[in-house]
Amino acid sequence: MTELGDGTRCVHAGLADPVPGTPLLASPVFGTGYHLGHPSYGYGRADNPTWRALEEAIGSLDGGECVVFPSGMAAISAVLRTCEGRLVLPSDGYFVTRSYVQSELPWLEVVEVPTAGPWPSFDGVGLVLLETPSNPGLDVCDITALAAEAHAAGALLAVDNTTATPLGQRPLQLGADFAVASDTKALAGHSDVVLGHVTCSDPALAARIRESRTFSGSVPGPFETWLAHRGLGTLDLRLARQAANASAVYKVLSSAPGVTGLRWPGAPEDPSHALAARQMRRFGGVLTFCLPSAAHVDRFLAASSLVTGATSFGGLHSTADRRAQWGDPVPEGLVRLSAGCEDTEDLVADIRTALSTLDT
Ligand code: PLP
């Protein structure tokens, strides 16, 4: 049978077989102690049926064994703690990952590499973490080639797949050992939950990550897990609208005076497009561009009635974030814009109006 489409897979992912009188999406299970005798469910820190349902769902989309975490950072830090040897990190990826390593894993020798390369030899490296497309710069790197080089050097390779989501890119199929993500963003998609996951190609790695979750006590709440599962059902629909909106907004921004450094891997003229089109299954709704100054960004946001200033992305609502305010090493006027699920004509008209206030 041919593989089912993304929409069908999202709608049905992780649902139990139908049993008369039970809900379509099982309700969250809040148990701490369970009546003993079940092979998995004994104590709430070790396992939970609501986690397992979302793990089954995300694992089926990522193509591996998934372990859910209470945030993207909890997921990433569990993977980083497996590192034996040197650690390679993106210099232009999510900055808290670098801060975490500096402050909590100071014994690790770290090599920081920009996502667009050039990439050094991986001799002596234990773990390579890629973030592609990177946040906020939206550069892309070749997962297949880098996974092959990492494996030849005896290293494991992880991909932060947050911006792409399991529908946008399947890192495990491209050779990665771990796909990690902040599901706080597009996967849950409604700006009402913080969650993350690690999906592993090898069940032995998944067992190690699961054990690390149990030992560290870094466990997601059942209600948050359930909310993410509910949100996942519409991921295909949301991504389609977000990508259509990003494409339309890209066109507006590309001819707007004062806008520089415009990036969206989905645009044929973007420097990452050829590689992104080869390794990604579809594009998302996040764009990056620069306005001349922080004050211009403030004016842009004040003049827009649909784009709100918020430091997350991938949700239903269009949002924009001036990344330098959080310490990202980027120009003061760099904006990461996350196109939401508004009607394209409305969003385009709103952004045109907001941009028109900048040249006065
Ligand atoms: N990875 C990327 C690319 C992110 O953008 C973020 C958050 O912005 C994270 C990881 C961390 O995720 P969380 O905020 O869910 O801990």
Claim to verify: residue 108 and residue 156 sit in the same structural domain: yes
Which positions are catalytic? 45, 94, 160, 185
- Residue 335 phi/psi, 5-degree rounding, is -120, 130
Atom of ligand 1 nearest to the CA of 93: 3
Per-residue pLDDT reduced to its tens digit, 127-186: 999 999 999 999 999 999 999 999 999 999 999 999 999 999 999 999 999 999 999 999
125 and 240 fall within a common domain: no
Quick one: which of 167, 96, 143, 118 has its CA closest to 279?
143
Q: Which of 89, 184, 328 to mutate to test the pocket of ligand 1 (most atoms within 8 A of CB)?
A: 184
Considering the domain architecture, whether residues 226 and 240 belong to the same structural domain is answered as: no
pLDDT per position as a tens digit, 238-256: 999 999 999 999 999 999 9
Q: At 204, which CATH number?
A: 3.40.640.10
Tokens of 120: 């050094």
Instruction: Give the model confidence (pLDDT) of 269-280 as tens digits.
Output: 999 999 999 999
Say what the pLDDT of residue 1 is. Answer: 63
Indicate whether 150 and 208 sit together in one domain: yes
C-alpha distances in Å from residue 340, one per residue of 147, 213, 310: 32, 32, 12
Select from 232, 253, 284 the last residue of a domain: 232
* 257, 209: one domain: no
Q: Which atom of ligand 1 is nearest to the CA of 185?
A: 15
Q: How many residues does the chain have?
A: 360
Same domain, residue pair 283 and 223: no
* Whether 283 contacts 276, CB under 8 Å: yes
Question: What b/e string do you get for 190-210 counting C-beta neighbours within 10 Å, with b at 16 or more?
Answer: ebebbbbbbbbbeeebbebbb
pLDDT, position 3: 87
- Answer whether residue 360 shows pLDDT above 60: no
Q: In whole numbers, what is the pLDDT of the chain averaged over residues?
A: 97
Question: Is the CA virtual torsion 240, 243, 247, 249 positive or negative?
Answer: positive
User: 359: pLDDT confidence band, cut at 50, 70 and 90?
Assistant: confident
- Identify the domain containing residue 133 by its residue range: 6-232
Among 180, 197, 232, the domain-final residue is 232
Residues 207 and 248 in one domain: no
Residue nearest to atom 11 of ligand 1 (CA): 72
Hey, which residues does 178 pair with through a beta bridge? 158, 200
User: Which pLDDT tens digit goes with each residue over 182-198?
Assistant: 999 999 999 999 999 99
**Same domain for 265 and 192:** no
Task: Output the ligand 1 site: residues, CB below 6 A.
Answer: 71-73, 76, 94, 131, 135, 160, 162, 182, 184, 194, 196
Q: Choose among 292, 315, 271, 286: nearest CA to 94.
A: 286
Ligand 1 centre to CA of 94 (Å) is 7
Domain boundary among 232, 249, 267: 232
What are the pLDDT digits (tens) for 50-66? Answer: 999 999 999 999 999 99
Q: If you measure from the C-alpha of residue 107 to the centroid of ligand 1, how many angstroms do you get, rounded to a whole number?
A: 23
Is 246 inside any structural domain?
yes
pLDDT, tens digit, 9 for 90 and up, residues 201-213: 999 999 999 999 9
